[in-house]
Amino acid sequence: MKLTTLSIAGTTTAAVGVGHGAFVPLDAPDLGALLAGSDWRQRVDVARASGAAPVRLDEDGVRIGPLVPRAGKVICCGLNYADHITEMGRDLPEYPTLFAKFADTLTGPADDIAVSASAQVDWEAELGVVVGRTLTDADETEAEAAIAGYTVANDISMRDWQRRTLQWFQGKAFDATTPVGPVMVTPEEVESTRFAGDGFTVRGYVNGDLVQEGRTRTLVFGPARLLSYISRFTTLRPGDLVLTGTPGGVGMGMEPPRFLRDGDVVATEIDGIGRLENRVRLT
Amino acid sequence: MKLTTLSIAGTTTAAVGVGHGAFVPLDAPDLGALLAGSDWRQRVDVARASGAAPVRLDEDGVRIGPLVPRAGKVICCGLNYADHITEMGRDLPEYPTLFAKFADTLTGPADDIAVSASAQVDWEAELGVVVGRTLTDADETEAEAAIAGYTVANDISMRDWQRRTLQWFQGKAFDATTPVGPVMVTPEEVESTRFAGDGFTVRGYVNGDLVQEGRTRTLVFGPARLLSYISRFTTLRPGDLVLTGTPGGVGMGMEPPRFLRDGDVVATEIDGIGRLENRVRLT
């Protein structure tokens, strides 16, 4: 199943996709709140069977909001694609490089990304993992079972701010700059569409040109391993979001470096999940 | 006034101190929720004048909970004491080094700090600043006016995890390891007790031995400047917490390095605000 958070006339609601840009609203204010109930799959099934009228994305006042607008934790992994690390001549890391964002950092899959005070806005196409169960000190099997689903994200990064100090956080936590969505796809749906296990292809585009392409089977720390590792120091809860890192091809790595200009369109897609398309506004 | 969050028989409530370990509960589930109402000062005044029976910390089932148990943002500054930076032979930084914690990282002023999986648990005594108003792109004057109050914190750090990668986050975000409190003291109260402006003295003790002592007037980035800087990239909201960095004297800097052992007691105090006393449990 494909789940998301809709914004309808300014109010958010969890919703389940029923195809062709139509969603049936669910009795929860957002996807994270839905996942906090252990019976969420049943509730979705009941709503789908109810015959309730779907909402369409082309209706006035309907948009897809940030997927998990009240996520308690958004944790990101850097330096995680083995092929890119090897290509850069580095050793594979023993531990994941982790940093945090806040829910305020997230934005919707079609929203403009407005940035002021940065001249080095860069892209990072990523697979996102939504947590479906509380996880503390979990092994990889438990962590795998706690994955509610997968989504698409772009960890848009303000490289000038990111490199002002040793800690990346300030360049990674600008409000409403990390698009996520458009939906969370549950694991069994992914298997049935042949993108089993870690085998997603993550692509990033700028103004229609392919700039990044990575296969998540080359992740040093795959989704379950990342969730397990994080759960050893902090509790993961339903609706928390973990971003798994970006493959090669970011603007900072180009010769000369390339950064986003006002009006540029960044697209991010993963086959079997969906596509983000966001216009950058430098204000 | 001195405000805090009490836990009474497992339920939290905001409360105002009325002296001698007694607090009058307020009609809000925690300090952050209280501060979210713009009339919080009036509500506190009404509660104090109501003659409601105070709760005492020595009653059964009463403890001070984490000061802001549902803080949306906890943002910390590293490398911020000018005297310590100069003494280490480094240049003063142009930008604050910032990293994030989550509300789950916080714990109460007298709670045990239980840590597993780290052999390098270290202390960092700090002044904390609680945000009282929503701040976006604020100058220092606005930021100063948005400070709800000051508190005491200890950014307990798992140095082995902190140094596994370039990003400190994982060593700084272990659940329930950052004690905060015991109260938030409002700015006018601090002035009246002669600790005006940035002139707090922050002290850290291990098993009764003074190991850290710093004066916040030597902060490179004082409270208002930090809040202003952060508000340029992310919105600060009532109940958010900003930790201002630690002076010299941490265990990692000793020759040889000294880390906390099971049963050690870490105390953290700021004159005019209060004292934390936490026993470390290595499990």
Looking at the structure, tell me whether residues B251 and B159 fall in a common domain.
Answer: yes
Does A94 touch chain B if contact means CB atoms closer than 8 Å? yes
| Chosen domain end from A40, A65, A90 | A65
Instruction: Report chain A residues whose CB lies below 8 A from the CB of B234.
Output: 102, 104-105, 173-175
User: B52 and B75 share a domain?
Assistant: no
Contact B21, B56 (CB under 8 A): yes
Give the C-alpha distances (Å, rounded to integers) separating B283 from A230, B66, B106, B118, B261: 18, 22, 18, 9, 11
User: Residue B80 phi/psi, 5° resolution?
Assistant: -125, -10
Lowest mean pLDDT among A71-85, A237-251, B169-183, B267-281: A71-85
**Which phi and psi angles does A121 have, rounded to 5°?**
-85, 125
| B108 and B5 fall within a common domain | no
Best of B233, B235, B243, B283 to disrupt the A interface (most A CBs within 10 Å) is B233
Put simply, whether B165 touches A (Cβ < 8 Å) is yes
Above 90 in pLDDT, residue A195?
Answer: no
Residue B170, H or E segment: helix B169-172
User: How many domains does chain B divide into?
Assistant: 2
> B228 φ, ψ to 5°?
-60, -45
More confident residue, B24 or A193: B24
The DSSP output letter for B9 is: T
Rounded-to-integer distance, Cα B228 and Cα B210, Å: 33
* SS3 (DSSP) at A152: strand
Residue with tokens 């003494």: B87
Q: Which of A97, A161, A166 sits opposite B233 (nearest CB)?
A: A161
Q: Are strands A97-101 and B55-56 parallel, antiparallel or unpaired?
A: unpaired
Work out the burial of residue A271: count CB atoms within 10 Å of its CB; fewer than 13 is exposed, 13-18 middle, 19 or more buried.
middle
- What integer pLDDT is reported at residue A190 of this predicted model? 82
Nearest by CB to A173, from B95, B102, B233: name it: B233
Structure tokens at A198: 């870690």
Which residues on chain A are in Cβ contact (under 8 Å) with B68?
none
Nearest residue of B to residue A174, measured between CA atoms: B233
User: How, if at all, do strands A241-243 and A74-78 pair?
Assistant: parallel
Mean pLDDT to the nearest integer, B85-91: 80
Option in A98, A116, A174 nearest B167 (CB):
A98
Distance CA B253, CA B258 (A): 8
List pLDDT tens digits, range A231-254: 999 999 999 999 999 999 999 999
Residue B157 near residue B113, CB atoms below 8 Å: no
If one compares A193 and B226, the residue with the highest pLDDT of the two is: B226
Q: What is the mean pLDDT of residues A150-176?
A: 97
Task: Report whether pLDDT(B192) > 90.
Answer: no
Letter string b/e over residues A171-196, b meaning 16 or more CB atoms within 10 A of that residue's CB: bbbbbbbbbbbbbbbbbebbeeeebe
Residue in B102, B167, B243 to test binding to A, most A beta-carbons within 10 Å:
B167
Cα–Cα distance, A32 to A65 (Å, whole number): 12
Mean pLDDT of chain A: 94
% of chain A with per-residue pLDDT over 70? 98
Percentage of chain B beyond pLDDT 70 is 98
Residues B58 and B106 in one domain: no
Q: pLDDT digit string (tens) for A123-144?
A: 999 999 999 999 999 999 999 9
Mean of pLDDT values over B140-163: 97
**Token reading at B207:** 């098993």
Q: What is the pLDDT of residue B85?
A: 83
pLDDT at B90: 83
Name the band, by pLDDT with cuts 50, 70 and 90, for residue A20: confident
A19 Rama sector, left if φ>0, alpha if ψ -120 to 50, beta otherwise: left
Q: Closest Cα partner for B21 from B277, B207, B274?
A: B274
Residue A26 confidence (pLDDT): 96
Distance in Å, alpha carbon of A96 to nearest chain B alpha carbon: 7
The C-alpha of A238 sits at a distance from chain B's nearest C-alpha, in angstroms, of: 14
Q: What are phi and psi of A264, to 5 degrees?
A: -60, 150
| Contact (Cβ atoms closer than 8 angstroms) between residue A154 and residue A123 | yes
pLDDT value at position A106? Answer: 98
Residues B160 and B236 in one domain: yes
- What would the mean pLDDT of B84-103 be, rounded to a whole number? 90
A168 vs B167: CB contact, 8 Å cut-off?
Answer: yes
**A59 with A72, same domain?**
no
- pLDDT computed for residue B88 by the predictor: 73
Kindly determine whether residue B99 and residue A72, on different chains, have CB atoms separated by under 8 Å: no
Question: Least CB-CB distance to A233: which of B99, B161, B234?
Answer: B161
Query: Coil, strand, or helix at residue A172?
Result: helix
The whole-angstrom distance between A66's CA and the closest CA on chain B is 16
Tell me how far apart the alpha carbons of residues B4 and B9 are, in angstroms, rounded to a whole number: 16
Query: Do B22 and B87 fall within a single domain?
Result: no
Using CA atoms, how far residue A5 sits from A24, A30, A43, A69, B25, in Å, is 11, 5, 15, 8, 37
Domain that holds residue B167: 66-282
Between the two ends of chain A, the Cα-to-Cα distance in Å is: 38
A137-141, A208-212, B18-22: segment of lowest average pLDDT: B18-22
**Environment class of B25 (CB within 10 Å of its CB; exposed 0-12, middle 13-18, buried 19+):** middle
Q: Answer yes or no: do B169 and A102 touch at CB < 8 A.
A: no
CA distance A171 to A79: 16
Taking contacts as CB-CB distances below 8 angstroms, the residues of chain B near A103 are 72
A with B: how many residue pairs have Cβ under 8 Å apart?
95
Over residues B111-138, mean pLDDT = 97
- Which residues between 120 and 159 in chain B have a beta carbon less than 8 angstroms from any beta carbon of chain A? 136-137, 158
CA dist B104 and A277 (Å) reads 33
Closest CA of chain A from B45, distance in Å = 32
Residue of B nearest to A100 (CA): B100
Element (H, E) at B84: helix B82-87
Say if residue A96 is in the same domain as residue A171.
yes
Among A145, A155, A74, A65, smallest CA distance to A110 is for A65
Tell me: pLDDT of B197 over 90: no
Q: Does one domain contain both B141 and B257?
A: yes
Q: Are residues A125 and A256 in the same domain?
A: yes
**Chain A environment of B167 (Cβ under 8 Å):** 78, 97-99, 167-168
What pLDDT was estimated at residue A197?
Answer: 53
Confidence of residue A194 (pLDDT cuts 50, 70, 90): very low
Say how far apart CA A235 and CA A214 lie, in whole Å: 29
CB contact under 8 A, A102 and B100: yes
Point out the domain boundary residue: A65, A84, A119: A65
* Biggest CA-to-CA distance, chain A: 56
Q: Of A16, A41, A65, which marks where a domain is finished?
A: A65
Q: What is the mean pLDDT of chain B?
A: 94
> For A190-214, what is the mean pLDDT?
82
Distance in angstroms (rounded) separating the CA atoms of residues B173 and B158? 9
Q: How many C-beta atoms lie closer than 10 Å to residue A269's C-beta?
A: 17
- CB within 8 Å: B97 and A167: yes
Q: What are phi and psi of A37, to 5 degrees?
A: -90, 130
Mean pLDDT, rounded, for B16-44: 95
Both B136 and B4 in a single domain?
no
Q: Of A55-69, A83-97, B137-151, where does mean pLDDT reach its minimum? A: A83-97
Nearest CA in chain A to B94: A164
For residue A100, the chain B residues in CB contact (below 8 A) are 99-102, 169, 173
Range 9-38 of B in CB contact (< 8 A) with A: none
The predicted model gives B46-63 an average pLDDT of: 91
Residue A1 has pLDDT above 80, yes or no: yes
A234 touches chain B (CB under 8 A): yes
In terms of domains, do B53 and B84 share one?
A: no
Going A244 to B116 to B173 to B11, the CA torsion angle's sign is positive
Distance CA B167, CA B272 (A): 34
pLDDT higher for A212 or B190?
Answer: A212
Please, which pLDDT band fits residue B194 given cuts at 50, 70 and 90?
Answer: very low
